[in-house]
Every structure is written in structure tokens, then in C-alpha cells.
Amino acid sequence: MQVSDSVTQRQCIRSFLDKPVDPQLINEILNAARWAPSGANTQPWQVMVVSGNSKQTIGERIIAAREDGQKENPDYDYYPENWIEPYRRRRYETGMALYSALHIEKSDHEKRKAAWYQNYHFFGAPVGLLFFMDKQMGRGSLLDMGMFIQNIMLMAEHHGLGTCPQASLAEYPDIVREILEVENDYLLLCGMALGYPDSSAPVNNYRVERVAVSDFTRWYD
């Protein structure tokens, strides 16, 4: 697969086949992703690979926290406190496209909640990745983490795997750190579902639009 194909064909996968992913293949993906650039070659990434009981426990514990009314306490603000245009509109349209693909009406709050809770079980993927970064690093290291994570998604695409990066899995970082026995010195940035896509699932067969290059680019002589 050409790099350009990996970039343009990659999408967020939210339904996976019941097919295991060879740990050697995961290692191969991470081995390639580690060549991402980072400021002063700091390589700030730490990756926790979960499956089986650990993955199941993370989902159960986060859902239980939400059901008990426990407030989210992410290590950093992913989204803005106040949404403005055009971001508010893009967010709304993306949500509507997702629930439309799932055939869930806007008024059906129970089905919407059940669909949202799939986030915490990595959408049924056999493998989950959780990305951490030392708290001592600066905000610039978030750029490094993004490039590293993108490398993982592109390499997964190259190998016929699907991914879904998930900020939702960082909503309760203390729970995840406790389960995985990760030191408090590390920020939880996000998670990622990894597995073989179920191409027959309607939720995997819709795409959201991207703005044109002319809408976000300025040229200077």
C-alpha cells in the first residue's frame, strides 16, 4: 500500500471482527512508529497494550464511574470549554453522521448512551492501546505524541488493520493508572482501538467531510 493510500483511506473504525491480532504484528507497527520525529529526540511516548481481562476491566470500571455520577478528571483539556464556529458545526455534523449510521434517533437517549459506552470497551476491538507521557514534559511533546500516534494508525492501515483514536478513554485517568499500575508521573493522553475492521458494519461505512485545502491554507511569496 502506498503512503498516500494509507493516509486517505484511514478512518475511525467502530466495529471489529472477532479475530485476534498477532502480538508480533503489533510490535512491528510500534517498531516503525517509533521513528516519528520528536523535539530534541526526546521520544516522550509510553504505550500500554491491553487485551483480555485488563481491557475488559478498564471498560467496566469507567462505565461504573459514570453510572455512579463520578465527575471526569482528565489530565488535560482536549476540547474547548466554549465551542465556536466552525468547530461547533463540525462537531454537530460528525455526531449526527455517526448516530445516523447506527440508526439511532436523536431522542433515543438509552441507545445513545449504550453506543457511547462502547467507547470504553474499545468498540469491541481485540486490542487497545493507551498512550502516556511524562508529566514533566512541555506542551510541545503533545505534537510529538500526535505524530507517533499517526504513525501507528498509518502502519495499521498498511497491514489491513483498523484503528480508532479515543480521547474518551482518558476521561478517568486515575482509574486506568490504577488498573495498569502506571505511576502518577505519567499523563494519560488517549486510547486507541486496534483490530481487523468489520467491513459489513454500517458504522464503518460512512465518512465525514474534510474542508478543502483552500479553506485552511494561505500562500505567501
In a domain, 66, yes or no: yes
Q: What angle do CA 101, 103, 108 make, to 5 degrees?
A: 130
At 106 the pLDDT is: 83
In a domain, 213, yes or no: no
In a domain, 206, yes or no: no
In a domain, 177, yes or no: yes
At 51 the pLDDT is: 98
Q: Is 71 exposed, middle or buried (0-12, 13-18, 19+ CB in 10 A)?
A: exposed
Structural domain containing residue 149 = 3-76+120-201
Closest C-alpha to 135, from 83, 174, 87, 183? 183
At 88 the pLDDT is: 96
At 10 the pLDDT is: 92
In a domain, 81, yes or no: no
Any idea which residue has 474542508 for its cell?
A: 211
128/143 Cα distance (integer angstroms):
21
In a domain, 97, yes or no: no
Instruction: Report how many domains make up the chain.
Output: 1
At 4 the pLDDT is: 84
pLDDT string in tens for the chain (221-residue length) = 788 888 988 999 999 999 999 999 999 999 999 999 999 999 999 999 999 999 999 999 999 999 999 999 999 999 999 999 999 999 999 999 999 999 999 889 999 999 999 999 999 999 999 999 999 999 999 999 999 999 999 999 999 999 999 999 999 999 999 999 999 999 999 999 999 999 999 999 999 999 999 999 999 99
Report yes or no on whether pTM surpasses 0.85. yes
In a domain, 56, yes or no: yes
Buried b (16+ CB within 10 A) or exposed e, 169-184: bbbbbebbbebeebee
Task: Give the CATH number for residue 195.
Answer: 3.40.109.10
In a domain, 89, yes or no: no
